[in-house]
A = this chain, B = another copy of it.
Amino acid sequence: MQSFDTLSAAFAARFDHRHFPTDPSTLYDPAHYFLGLGGKRIRPVLCLMGNELFGPIEADAWQLATAIELFHNFTLIHDDIMDRAPLRRGKPTVHDKYGSSTAILTGDVMMVVAYEYIAKIASPHIRRILHLFNQTAAEVCEGQQLDMDFEAREEVTMEEYLHMIGLKTSVLLAASLQLGSILGGAGLGNQDKIYQFGKNLGLAFQIQDDYLDCYGDADKFGKKVGGDIVANKKTFLLIKTLEVATDIQRQQIKELTTASPDEKIAGMLQLFHDCGVDAWVRELKDKYREAAVQSLEDIAVLSVRKEPLRELIDLLLQREY
């Protein structure tokens, strides 16, 4: 069994080449450009780890991992258009550099190339794999749509927000693990457990992400603290606060929306603390982390095989705060 870092390096060595034809360059160069911006390649590595938990990594797993990473990048290209984001990993987004129409088409063709890697899979489980891939892809679209819907709404319940975050970010992590496990020969029960492991791990990671935006070490975290607050973004902290706040506190939140960025950050952090939401969010993260640990332990394989996935939990969720 190999660690996340070892598999990550192995995947990068295979993935970092051109996945597209030369012509028309106006379509395919933007696709190649976007992949060149890099990324942590977490999802394809999860696919490889999901395979290796149950057996030696199959040749098919590299094709499937590539399909997953291309699909993920397709969603990023289209999300960037919808979010009007000018930058991705510090570089111009596809629509910013090449225009929205090309960005739409570049995303489209990247999705098609993702499916072409699936067509290369020799496994007799190809239909099951294609079905889980499709189901997950649809859920990711649903999550992005709900995210946009929620932005336009005044209040969103914690249940709704968890559902949206689960679709938008966690199901692809979960499915990546399960897809790999199918190739590794996992039975349905184990497949379900590794999926739940990934889903819970993903939710814990997202909760942590929202938390670190407010309480992270700016130097280690790599971005300015309070960015979500300034952008009026709905987060686990804001939604919980709106749930428990008194009328006076709700009035304060309303007033803070027009305050200066620094006042807004200071005011909201004070409110989060007054409402006990900082501690509540840490507990929520721990709850999902524990659920992930439990799902992993429930998988019926030798405990030693699970070591790389245990390390992964620490790698993703041991960020300091």
A102/B148 in contact, CB under 8 A = yes
Q: Which single residue of chain B is at the shortest CB-CB distance from A144?
A: B105
Choice from B101, B102, B107, B112 contacting A138 with Cβ under 8 Å:
B112
What B residues does A141 contact at CB under 8 A? 27, 105, 108-109, 112
Does A116 interact with chain B (Cβ within 8 Å)? Answer: yes
B-binding segment of A123-131, A201-209, A262-270, A301-309: A123-131
A98 to chain B, nearest CB (A): 10
Contacts A126-B127, A145-B27: A105 and B134 contacting too (C-beta < 8 A)? no
Does A24 interact with chain B (Cβ within 8 Å)? Answer: yes
A interface, size bucket:
35 or more
Choice from B78, B81, B142 contacting A27 with Cβ under 8 Å:
B142
Q: Which single residue of chain B is at the shortest CB-CB distance from A84?
A: B101
Q: Render A97-124 as a binary contact track against B, CB cut-off 8 A, 1 for contact.
A: 0001110110111011101101111000
B109/A134 in contact, CB under 8 A = no
Cα separation A24 to B163 with both chains bound (whole Å): 12
A119 to chain B, nearest CB (A): 4
Does A64 interact with chain B (Cβ within 8 Å)? Answer: no
A134/B148 in contact, CB under 8 A = no
Does A46 interact with chain B (Cβ within 8 Å)? Answer: no
Choice from B101, B112, B134 contacting A82 with Cβ under 8 Å:
B101
Contacts A81-B104, A82-B105, A101-B82: A137 and B112 contacting too (C-beta < 8 A)? yes
Q: Which single residue of chain B is at the shortest CB-CB distance from A83?
A: B101
Does A242 interact with chain B (Cβ within 8 Å)? Answer: no
Cα separation A151 to B130 with both chains bound (whole Å): 37
Contacts A102-B148, A108-B78: A138 and B119 contacting too (C-beta < 8 A)? no
B142/A130 in contact, CB under 8 A = no
What B residues does A135 contact at CB under 8 A? 116
A119/B145 in contact, CB under 8 A = no
Does A219 interact with chain B (Cβ within 8 Å)? Answer: no
Name A155-193 residues within 8 Å CB distance of B: none
A273 to chain B, nearest CB (A): 34
Q: Which single residue of chain B is at the shortest CB-CB distance from A138?
A: B112
B119/A105 in contact, CB under 8 A = no
Does A247 interact with chain B (Cβ within 8 Å)? Answer: no
| A contact set with B: CB distance below 8 Å | 23-24, 26-27, 78, 81-82, 100-102, 104-105, 107-109, 111-113, 115-116, 118-121, 126-127, 130-131, 134-135, 137-138, 141-142, 144-146, 148-149
Apart from A24-B146, A102-B145, A115-B115, what are 8 other A-B pairs with CB-CB below 8 Å? A24-B142, A26-B145, A101-B148, A105-B144, A113-B138, A115-B137, A116-B131, A130-B130
